[in-house]
Structure 1
Amino acid sequence: MSATLLLVGCGRMGGALLSGWLARGTAQRVVVVEPAGRIPGPPLAGVEVVTDAAAIPAGFTPDAVVLAVKPQTMPSVIADYARFAGTAVFLSIAAGKPIVWFEERLGPDAAIVRAMPNTPASVGRGMTVAVENARVSRAQHALCNGLLAAVGQVAWTQREPHLDAVTAVSGSGPAYVFLLAEALAHAGEAAGLPADLAAQLARATVAGAGELLQQSHESAEQLRRNVTSPKGTTEAALAVLMASDGLGPLLDRAVAAAAARSRELAG
């Protein structure tokens, strides 16, 4: 697959997608709309950067329009791309903007995919969940799947409301993991370790455990059991973390709060 793409916005996530497409040969030609008129790094073969929609080359007909601007910016720019409805598929990674919002602004012929990636996409280890409207063809579905798979794993759902929970679990989830690393480092300091050693241990432990989880065929529960010796140190710590007021209920509340906020942003 080698497609002609229009990327609207090239911030962290847009830039991660662009890097993934180029690395995997997914994109034949890309026009990037970026108000600064440039993207970080040296010029890239097959990539043209313009400052706004009016500067898109005449006759340019993208296979997909990838909308990677911030949700609060979307209302001011979306109308500029309505001319591609009916020919291109629109792939939005903007949180909180439902498919119906795009249909109202792009018209009844618009093929729309809404996706929620997460920040590990920047190292090719992202997790994205996507949902499509009825106008998306099989070929367009395959194209969007390939665009998202360039930066990690992809799953599809037929129920758009699932994306609120997806946002709360995987979209916001990396922040929870980073907080765990912070808290583990602070706990190490409290136990008497030098700050730099505690930080090194926490970072390596979280990263290593994540990689083991990724590569193992065993469940997270089983991997936890594998580390836990009867009446040992891990069991003593887990008695605290798995208590009725421990990590599980805390994460339940955190994910519920994030999902509720996602629904609020969608209006």
Structure 2
Amino acid sequence: MDFNMIAARGLVLLGCGKMGSAMLGGWLRQGLAPGAVWVLDPHPSDWLVAQGVHLNADLPARPAVVLIAVKPQMMGAALPTLAAMGGGDTLFITVAAGTTIATYERILGAATPVVRAMPNTPAAIGKGITAICGNAAAGAGDLDTAEGLLAVLGQVVRLEGEHQMDAVTALSGSGPGYVFHLIEALAAAGQAEGLPADMAMTLAKATVAGAGALAEVADEPPAKLRENVTSPGGTTQAGLKVLMDPDTGFAPLLRRAVKAAADRGRELGQ
């Protein structure tokens, strides 16, 4: 990413926990000068202190970008401190879960370009996927800037609009939790078949991680990869017969899980 425009006017990072630190570390590695970054964080880590950024200092009046990475419950106190930067050409990018674009527009003004983003926890190791959408004031250049900054977390996809964000939250945002539970359940099933607990967990972790990595790089779709590993009348087919049951199998279970998460997201956004 070309950081020249950002370096000239500055970037403000509000909140530098795990997600904020992952982004900041990525930007600095890509060449953004520490002196071009202002970080506001009430409990800075030793790592953050050592980066040489402006820490809890007076902010530039018209930064190029303000990136909001605080917890949703801190938003009410944090946003009003940035209200003076709204209504102009400062781009606001938010990775805070659950806070709608309308909330930012009420405080910053409808003319403020705002891009809302939903990353997921693998972003902490650069293996995440982030979905973004912008308000009416956010142009193509703003979305390009947001995508460039968020690419340090992994892949970035653009939504048709904010109406799709609850589905994204339920799928990729909450999805790591589903996968972690799959690992737990797979290991427990292996243990039930006679494996030691630690060996079953090692096998389950490696199996899920390896299958996911293969699915990501393979030219074939997951359905074809599944067929490739399924011999007629073999062990995989026996297991898949259970998992692919149309009433009690994996697909209807995940549909219910994702719907429950999406419904909850809509409730929290009201």
Size of the alignment, in residue pairs? 261
Conservation of the 8 A alpha-carbon contact between 1:10 and 1:34: yes
Separation (CA, whole Å) in 2 of partners of 1:187 and 1:27: 50
User: Which runs of no fewer than 5 residues in structure 1 stay unpaired?
Assistant: none
Kindly state the Cα deviation for residue 42 of structure 1 after the two structures are TM-superposed: 6.3
Deviation per residue, 1:30-76 (Å, 9 max, x gap): 1111012x2342644452221xxxx424x453211111111111112
Q: Distance in 2 between matches of 1:261 and 1:13?
A: 23
Counterpart position of 1:146: 148
TM value normalised by structure 2: 0.92
Q: Which has the higher contact order (CA 8 A, sep 6+)?
A: 1
| CA contact 2:91–2:112 (8 Å) conserved in 1 | yes
Instruction: State the shift of 1:158 in Å.
Output: 2.4
Q: Distance in 1 between the 2:28 and 2:184 partners?
A: 34
Secondary structure (helix, strand or coil) at the match of 1:253 reads: helix
- Please say if 1:127 is aligned against 2:133: no
2:267 maps to amino acid: E
Q: Deviations over 1:79-108 (max 9, x none)?
A: 110111113111011111111111111112
* Deviating more after overlay: 14-23 vs 126-135: 14-23
**Aligned alpha-carbon RMSD (Å):** 1.5
Alpha carbons of structure 1 residues 204 and 156: separation in structure 2 relative to 1, 3 Å: same
CA distance in 1, matches of 2:136, 2:212: 37
Question: Structure 2 matches for 1:1-267, cutoff 5 A?
Answer: 1-2=2-3, 3=6, 4-26=10-32, 29-36=36-43, 38-41=44-47, 43-50=49-56, 55-57=57-59, 59=60, 61-85=62-86, 86-243=88-245, 244-267=247-270
Long gaps (5+) in structure 2:
none
Q: Deviations over 1:109-160 (max 9, x none)?
A: 2110011000111111110110001111333222111011111111111221
Is the CA contact (8 Å cut-off) linking 2:21 and 2:48 kept in structure 1?
A: no
Once residues 71 and 130 of structure 1 are traced to their aligned partners in structure 2, the CA distance between those partners, rounded to angstroms, is 17
Residues in 2 aligned to 1:226 and 1:16: alpha-carbon distance in whole angstroms? 37
Which secondary structure does the structure 1 equivalent of 2:42 belong to?
coil
Alignment partners' CA distance in 2, 1:216 and 1:187: 28
- Compared CA separation, residues 14 and 42, structure 1 to 2 (3 A): closer
Higher helix share: 2
Cα distance in 2 between the residues matched to 1:72 and 1:32: 19
Deviations 1:217-252 (A, max 9, x none): 111111111111100000000011111211111100
8 Å CA contact retained: 2:14, 2:68: yes
CA distance in 1, matches of 2:194, 2:110: 63
How far residue 27 of structure 1 moved from its aligned partner, in angstroms, is 5.9
Q: Indicate conservation of the 8 Å contact 2:13/2:69, yes or no.
A: yes
